[in-house]
Structure 1
Amino acid sequence: ALALAWLNVIIHEGLCDWDFVMNWCTGFDELTEHVDQFTPEWAAPLTWLTPEQIRESAYLYATHKPGNIQWGVALDQIGTPGGAAIQARALLRAVTGNLDAPGSDLLTGPALDYYTDEEMEANEYLPEEQTAKQLGSDRFKLITWPGYGRIAELTKSFWGKAPTAEWMCEAHPPTVFEAILTGKPYPVKALLVAATNPVNSYGNSSKVLEALRKVDFMVTCEYWLTPTAMLSDYVLPMAGALERPTITSTYGCSDFLIASQRAIQPLYERRTDFDFWRGLGLKLGQEEMWPWETLEEANFHRISPLAPSYGVESYDEFVENYRFHFPEREYYKYRERGFATPSGKVELYSSVLEELGYPPLPEYLPPVECELTKPELAEEYPLVLTTGPGVMPFHHSEHFQIKELRYLRHEPYADINPATAAQLSLKDGDWIWIETKRGRIKARANLTQAVHPTVIVTQRGWWFPEKDMREPILGGCLECNTNVLTSDADEDCNPFSGSWANRGLLCRVYKVTDSDGKGGR
Structure 2
Amino acid sequence: MAMRTMKSVCRMCHGGCGVLIDVANDRVVEVRGDPEHPLTRGFMCPKGRATLALVHHPHRLTTPLRRIGPKGSTEFAEITWETALEEVADRLAQSMADAPESVVLSQGTDRNYQEWLFRFGNALGTPNVLGPAHICFYPKMMGSIMTLGDLTFPDYDGNPECIVIWGSNKIECHSDGVIGTGLMRAMRAGSQLIVIDPKRTALARKAKYWLRPKPGSDAALALGIIRVILDKGLENRAFIEAHTYGARELAEHVRAYIPEKVEELTWVPASLIEEAAIFYARASAAAIEVGTGIEQSTNAFAAIRAIRILSGICGNIDRRGGDVIWEPTGIIGRRDLPARHLLPESAEHKRLGSNEHRLLSMAGWAHPNAVWNAVLHGEPYPVAAMLVFGSNLLTLYANAARVQQALEAMPFLMVADLFLTPTARMADIVLPVATWVERNQIVEFNSYLAARRKALQVGQCKSDEEIINTLAQRLGLGEHFWHQADDSLNARLRPIGLTWKGLCELGYIANPPRYEKFRAAGFRTRDGLFYIASPVLRRMGYPSLPRYEEPKNMDRGEYLLTSAHSPFFFNSEFHNLPELRQRQPEPVAELHPCTAARHCLQEGMLAAIGANGAEALFRVQYNEYLDERVVYVPASWWDPEDEIWPRSWTQSNVNMLTTNTPPNPEMGTPQLRGIPCTLRAFVPPGATQVSTS
TM-score (norm 1): 0.87
Q: Quote how far apart the aligned CAs of 1:268 are.
A: 2.2
The equivalent of 2:321 in structure 1 is 103
* 8 Å CA contact retained: 1:191, 1:219: yes
Within the candidate set 468, 477, 484, 2:649 is matched to 477
How far apart in 2 are the matches of 1:424 and 1:105? 45
User: What secondary structure, in the 3-state scheme, does the structure 2 residue paired with 1:331 have?
Assistant: coil
Q: Quote how far apart the aligned CAs of 1:498 are.
A: 0.9
The equivalent of 1:299 in structure 2 is 489
The aligned amino acid for 2:561 is L
Q: Is 1:289 equivalent to 2:488 in the alignment? A: no
Within the candidate set 361, 383, 386, 1:191 is matched to 386
Within a 5 Å distance, the mapping from 1:213-228 to structure 2 comes to: 213-228=408-423
The equivalent of 2:678 in structure 1 is 508
CA offsets 1:11-32 (integer angstroms, 9 cap, x no match): 2221110110011111111111
How far apart in 2 are the matches of 1:91 and 1:432? 41
Within a 5 Å distance, the mapping from 1:456-467 to structure 2 comes to: 456-467=631-642
User: What secondary structure, in the 3-state scheme, does the structure 2 residue paired with 1:44 have?
Assistant: helix
How far apart in 2 are the matches of 1:514 and 1:328? 58
Q: Quote how far apart the aligned CAs of 1:436 are.
A: 0.5
Within a 5 Å distance, the mapping from 1:255-294 to structure 2 comes to: 256-264=448-456, 266-294=457-485
* 8 Å CA contact retained: 1:465, 1:475: no
How far apart in 1 are the matches of 2:259 and 2:686? 46
How far apart in 1 are the matches of 2:426 and 2:226? 49
Within a 5 Å distance, the mapping from 1:109-508 to structure 2 comes to: 109-111=327-329, 113-144=330-361, 148=362, 168-250=363-445, 254=446, 256-264=448-456, 266-295=457-486, 297-307=487-497, 314-319=499-504, 321-368=505-552, 377-378=555-556, 381-387=557-563, 389-468=564-643, 473-474=645-646, 476-489=648-661, 491=662, 493-508=663-678
How far apart in 2 are the matches of 1:344 and 1:206? 46
Label 1:421 to 1:330 Cα distance change in 2 as closer, same or farther (>3 A): same
Cα RMSD for the two superposed structures: 1.9
Question: What is the aligned residue count?
Answer: 472
* 8 Å CA contact retained: 2:605, 2:691: no
Label 1:519 to 1:208 Cα distance change in 2 as closer, same or farther (>3 A): farther
Consecutive unaligned residues in structure 1, runs of 5 or more: 149-167
The runs of 4+ residues in structure 1 deviating greater than 6 Å are: 516-521
The equivalent of 2:8 in structure 1 is none
CA offsets 1:127-185 (integer angstroms, 9 cap, x no match): 011111101110111121xxx3xxxxxxxxxxxxxxxxxxx321001211122111111
Q: Quote how far apart the aligned CAs of 1:292 are.
A: 4.2
CA offsets 1:423-474 (integer angstroms, 9 cap, x no match): 11110000110110241100100011131111000112222222358xxx43
CA offsets 1:396-435 (integer angstroms, 9 cap, x no match): 1111122443333322111000011111111000011011
Consecutive unaligned residues in structure 2, runs of 5 or more: 1-219
How far apart in 1 are the matches of 2:466 and 2:599? 55
CA offsets 1:254-291 (integer angstroms, 9 cap, x no match): 36311122112x33221111211111111221121123
CA offsets 1:357-396 (integer angstroms, 9 cap, x no match): 2110112211457xxxx6xx43xx2101112x12242221
Label 1:327 to 1:515 Cα distance change in 2 as closer, same or farther (>3 A): closer
How far apart in 2 are the matches of 1:301 and 1:516? 65
The aligned amino acid for 1:3 is A
* 8 Å CA contact retained: 2:606, 2:692: no
How far apart in 2 are the matches of 1:426 and 1:335? 59
* 8 Å CA contact retained: 1:367, 1:504: no
CA offsets 1:175-223 (integer angstroms, 9 cap, x no match): 1112211111111121111111010111111111111111111000100
Label 1:475 to 1:109 Cα distance change in 2 as closer, same or farther (>3 A): farther
How far apart in 2 are the matches of 1:62 and 1:305? 41
The equivalent of 1:153 in structure 2 is none
How far apart in 2 are the matches of 1:51 and 1:463? 40
Structure number with the higher helix fraction is 1
The equivalent of 1:160 in structure 2 is none
The equivalent of 2:300 in structure 1 is 82
The aligned amino acid for 2:342 is Y
Label 1:221 to 1:15 Cα distance change in 2 as closer, same or farther (>3 A): same
* 8 Å CA contact retained: 1:65, 1:98: no
Label 1:368 to 1:399 Cα distance change in 2 as closer, same or farther (>3 A): farther
How far apart in 2 are the matches of 1:120 and 1:270? 24
Q: Quote how far apart the aligned CAs of 1:475 are.
A: 5.3
How far apart in 1 are the matches of 2:269 and 2:686? 42
How far apart in 2 are the matches of 1:317 and 1:98? 37
How far apart in 2 are the matches of 1:514 and 1:268? 43
